[in-house]
C-alpha cells in the first residue's frame, strides 16, 4: 500500500497527515514528472552539505561535457556512466551513485557503481523488478522516482535489508532512466550510509543525470545493434561465398563434361548422328551449358567482390591486345565489330584478365541489344596524359532514362521483359572490376538511338 496519493509532490497537493506518515515510514514515491515543484521531502534534507548553486551548475555542465565527449570517443558504456555517477557524488557529499540497466527479461544489470561495495553490486546484479523490490526495482517497475530515506524502516526493502546493512547503506533514492519513447531502460540511484531525504534541487539533478544516462545507454545500444547487424551480414556473406565456391566446383565439372560431349557429338567424331535434328540438339546442349557456366562464373565473381576477396594485378596492359582477346572470345558475331585505335599503343595499368572480362561483357551487351545491321564500334583512346580508355558504342535499343540510374547494380537488367538471356550481373561486375583497378565505368544512352559504355583507368 502507498502512504501517499498519486499526486503527492505537487506543491498544491501536499497533505500534512500523509506526509508525516511517509516520513515515519521512511519512504515516499513521487511521479517522475513531479520533482520540479516538490517541496523538501524530509526533515533530514536541509542539514546535509550541498554545493552553492553556481558551483552546482558548473559541475552539472562539466558532467554533461565529459559524458558526451566520452561517448563521441567511443569509450565503453561503463566508463561513461561512471563519469555521470562521480559527477553526482561530487555534488552531494557522502553519496555513492549507481546505474542499473534493465534487460529484456525484466532484470536489472550492473551498469556502473564506482564507489559502492563490490559485494553489494554482485548481490543485486540480475534483480528482477517488481512493486516492492528496493528502491531501484520499484522505480523500474512503476516508472516513478522512489525515495527511501531509511532502508531499515521501508517495506520496499523488507527482503533486501540485510544486503544493504552488510554494505553499510541506510538511504537510497532511485530515478527511472527512460528512452525517448518513455520506456524504462534502467535506474539512477543515490545511496547514503545514514538516513537522508532529498531537496527539490536533489530530485531535479537526479532526473538530469538519469536523462544524461539515457543518452549514453541509447547511443551504446544503437552502436551495438549496428555492430551485431554488421556481424550477421558478414557471417551471411561468408557463408554465401563458401557455398558459391563449393557449388561452382560441383557444377563446373559435370557442365564441362556435358559441353565437351555435346561438342564431340556435334563434330561427329565417331560417326554420323543420323537425323539433322540431333545436330540442332547438340548445339542447344552446348550453348545452354556455356550459358550456365557463365552464370556460375558471374555469381562466383559477385561473391568474391562483395567479400573483398578479388585480387587483381597492377601491371602494364596493352588495350589493343585486350580488345583482340575479347573479340576472339565473343565468337563469330564479333567479326562485325569495328575497331578504332590510334597508331601508338595505349597502355593501362591494371589486370589483363579483368580488363578482358570487362571488354568482353561490353562487346557482348552491344551485340545482344544492337538493332539488325546496326554498327558496333570498339574504340581505344587516351582521354588525357594520365589515363587510358576503352569504349564500346552500339546503335541498338538504348536504355530508358528511368532505368539508367539503377543500371550497374546487382541483378538490374537493361530490359524488364527478359527477351534476352542474362542475370543483370555483368555491368555490376564490370564496374566493380574497374573500381578495384582505380578506374571507372560510365554509361551514356538514348532510347532508340544506342548506348555508349566507356571505361577509363590510370595509364601505365
H-type alpha helices, 268-318: 276-307
For 396, counting Cβ atoms within 10 Å of its Cβ (0-12 exposed, 13-18 middle, 19+ buried), the class is buried
How far apart are alpha carbons 129 and 174 in whole angstroms?
13
Q: Which DSSP state fits 127? A: E
Residue 425 vs residues 16, 186, 248, 325, 447: alpha-carbon distances, Å: 78, 49, 16, 21, 21
- Distance, in Å, from the CA atom of 350 to the CA atom of 458, rounded to the nearest integer, reads 8
Within 13 Å, how many C-alpha atoms sit on residue 27's CB side?
27
What CA–CA distance (Å, rounded) separates 109 from 99?
9
For cell 555483368, the residue is 426
Nine cell digits for residue 288: 545452354
At residue 432, φ and ψ (nearest 5 deg) are -65, -40
> Looking up cell 543485486, which residue turns up?
124
Q: Please give the CATH topology (third level) of the domain spanning 11-50+92-198.
A: Beta-Lactamase (3.30.450)
Provide the pLDDT for residue 221: 84
Please state whether the predicted TM-score (pTM) of the whole model is above 0.75.
no
Q: Which residue has the cell 531501484?
A: 136
Q: For position 19, what pLDDT does the model report?
A: 32
Identify the pLDDT of residue 279.
83
Q: Which of 282, 261, 259, 289 is nearest to 274 (CA)?
A: 282
Q: Which residues contact 401 (CB under 8 A, 6 or more apart)?
A: 447
Query: How far, in whole angstroms, is CA 176 from its chain's centroid?
Result: 29
CB of 100 within 8 A of CB of 189? yes
Q: What is the residue extent of each domain of the chain?
A: 11-50+92-198, 228-307, 315-458
Helix (H) or strand (E) holding 59: helix 53-72
Number of other residues whose CB lies within 10 A of the CB of residue 230: 10
Per-residue pLDDT of the chain (460 residues; tens, 9 = 90+): 333 233 333 222 223 323 333 433 444 555 433 333 333 344 444 444 455 577 788 888 888 899 888 988 889 999 999 999 999 999 999 999 999 999 999 999 999 999 999 999 999 999 999 999 999 999 999 999 999 999 999 999 999 999 999 999 999 999 999 998 899 999 999 999 999 999 999 999 999 999 999 999 988 888 777 777 777 777 776 776 677 667 766 777 788 888 888 888 888 888 888 888 888 888 888 878 877 777 777 777 777 777 777 888 999 999 999 999 888 888 767 788 999 999 999 999 999 989 999 999 999 889 988 888 899 999 999 999 999 999 999 998 888 877 777 676 665 555 554 455 555 678 888 999 999 999 999 999 988 899 999 999 999 8
Cell (9 digits) for 284: 542447344
Nearest Cα residue to 44 out of 171, 188, 157, 160: 171
pLDDT of residue 177: 97
Task: Tell me the C-alpha distance between 346 and 390, whole Å.
Answer: 10
Give the domain 315-458 fold. Heat Shock Protein 90 (3.30.565)
* pLDDT for residue 46: 43
Amino acid at each position: 500500500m502507498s502512504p501517499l496519493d498519486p499526486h503527492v509532490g505537487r506543491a498544491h497537493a501536499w497533505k500534512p497527515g500523509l506526509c508525516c506518515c511517509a516520513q515515519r515510514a521512511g519512504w515516499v514515491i513521487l511521479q517522475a514528472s513531479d520533482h520540479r515543484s516538490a517541496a523538501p521531502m524530509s526533515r533530514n534534507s536541509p542539514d546535509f552539505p550541498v554545493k552553492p548553486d553556481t558551483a552546482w551548475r558548473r559541475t552539472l555542465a562539466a558532467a554533461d561535457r565529459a559524458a558526451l565527449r566520452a561517448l563521441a570517443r567511443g569509450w565503453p558504456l561503463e566508463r561513461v556512466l561512471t563519469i555521470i555517477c562521480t559527477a553526482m557524488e561530487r555534488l552531494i557529499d557522502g553519496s555513492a551513485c549507481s546505474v542499473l540497466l534493465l534487460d529484456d527479461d525484466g532484470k536489472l544489470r550492473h551498469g556502473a557503481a564506482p564507489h559502492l561495495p563490490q559485494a553489494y553490486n554482485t548481490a543485486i546484479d540480475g534483480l528482477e523488478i517488481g512493486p516492492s523490490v528496493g528502491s531501484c526495482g520499484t522505480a523500474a517497475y512503476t516508472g516513478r522516482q522512489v525515495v527511501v530515506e531509511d532502508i531499515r524502516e521501508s517495506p520496499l526493502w523488507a527482503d533486501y535489508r540485510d544486503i544493504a546493512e552488510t554494505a553499510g547503506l541506510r538511504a537510497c533514492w532511485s530515478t527511472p532512466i527512460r528512452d525517448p519513447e518513455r520506456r524504462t531502460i534502467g535506474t539512477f540511484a543515490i545511496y547514503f550510509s545514514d538516513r537522508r531525504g532529498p531537496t527539490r534541487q536533489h530530485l531535479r539533478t537526479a532526473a538530469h543525470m538519469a536523462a544524461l544516462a539515457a543518452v549514453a545507454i541509447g547511443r551504446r545500444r544503437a552502436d551495438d545493434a549496428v555492430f551485431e547487424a554488421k556481424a550477421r551480414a558478414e557471417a551471411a556473406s561468408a557463408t554465401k561465398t563458401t557455398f558459391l565456391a563449393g557449388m561452382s566446383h560441383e557444377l563446373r565439372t559435370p557442365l564441362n563434361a556435358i559441353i565437351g560431349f555435346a561438342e564431340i557429338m556435334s563434330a561427329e567424331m565417331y560417326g554420323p548422328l543420323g537425323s539433322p535434328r540431333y545436330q540442332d540438339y547438340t548445339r542447344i546442349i552446348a550453348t545452354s551449358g556455356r550459358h550456365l557456366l557463365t552464370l556460375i562464373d558471374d555469381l562466383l565473381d559477385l561473391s568474391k567482390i562483395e567479400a573483398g576477396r578479388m585480387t587483381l594485378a597492377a601491371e602494364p596492359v596493352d588495350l589493343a591486345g585486350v580488345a583482340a582477346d575479347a573479340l576472339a572470345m565473343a565468337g563469330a558475331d564479333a567479326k562485325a565489330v569495328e575497331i578504332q585505335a590510334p597508331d601508338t599503343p595505349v597502355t593501362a595499368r591494371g589486370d589483363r584478365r579483368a580488363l578482358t572480362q570487362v571488354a568482353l561483357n561490353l562487346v557482348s551487351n552491344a551485340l545482344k541489344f544492337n538493332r539488325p545491321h546496326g554498327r558496333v564500334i570498339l574504340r581505344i583512346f587516351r582521354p588525357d596524359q594520365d589515363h587510358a580508355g576503352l569504349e564500346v558504342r552500339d546503335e541498338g535499343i538504348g536504355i530508358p532514362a528511368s532505368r539508367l540510374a539503377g543500371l550497374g547494380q546487382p541483378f538490374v537488367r537493361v530490359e524488364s521483359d527478359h527477351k534476352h538471356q542474362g542475370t543483370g550481373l555483368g555491368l555490376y561486375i564490370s564496374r566493380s572490376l574497374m573500381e578495384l583497378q582505380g578506374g571507372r565505368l560510365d554509361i551514356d544512352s538514348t532510347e532508340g538511338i544506342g548506348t555508349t559504355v566507356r571505361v577509363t583507368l590510370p595509364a601505365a
